[in-house]
Amino acid sequence: MARPIEYEIDQVLDSAMTIFCEKGFEATSIRDLVKATGLTSRSLYNVFDSKEGLFKASIEKFRAEKASGLYEMLEEQRGKEALKSLFAMLTPTERGNGCLMVNTLNECNNVNDSCLEVAQNHIRKMERLLTTKLTEAKEDNDFSGDCELTAKLFILVMQGGSVYSRDESNIPYIGPVYTELLNTLGL
């Protein structure tokens, strides 16, 4: 009995996400995608129409599955504790390929507008959530700074941490840097 198509597409998107994250959109060839997914190029084009279509489906899946976990955690916790939990979640324990959203933003000249928009919307949502959590921390007398500017600072630091994590020798420093940032801000 054949596996349901949803399972196959889910597997294909997971494999594509990994290779896009590892190599970036521009450097990922159809041959790479065929090898990673186990499908033929014809099958990939039949389902996704193009490399761009597969990339967009991959970043949509990333947003729906991985980024939504960050959103939920931030929405469920209050202020200072939410921010501490966020940076703990983002602290890598091993070398990674960075964040697909950050990598997409880094390749903005090579990615089509609809894919770039997904990544930009993710960043805007994170900024709004961070601003809300910082406002809560301020209400709880845990923070006294500018909430909007500090949210942007956090985005910059998180994006940097994502890029920094691609070099294994940096892994031991990312968590302590996040902790130092929170401590410096009184969080």
- Please report, for the chain, the start and end positions of each structural domain, with discontinuous segments joined by +: 5-184
Q: Choose among 12, 87, 7: nearest CA to 55.
A: 12
User: How far apart, in whole angstroms, are the C-alpha atoms of residue 42 and residue 44?
Assistant: 5
Q: How many CA atoms lie within 13 A of 59 on its CB side?
A: 28
Residue 59 in contact with residue 101, Cβ under 8 Å?
yes
CA distance 139 to 154: 19
- Give the pTM: 0.84
pLDDT in tens, 158-169: 999 988 888 889
Q: How far apart (Å, rounded) are the C-alpha atoms in residues 51 and 153?
A: 33
Asked whether the beta carbons of 165 and 173 are under 8 A apart, the reply is no
The string of pLDDT tens digits covering residues 135-177 is 999 999 999 999 999 999 999 999 999 888 888 899 999 999 9
Instruction: Name which CATH class applies to 5-184.
Output: mainly alpha
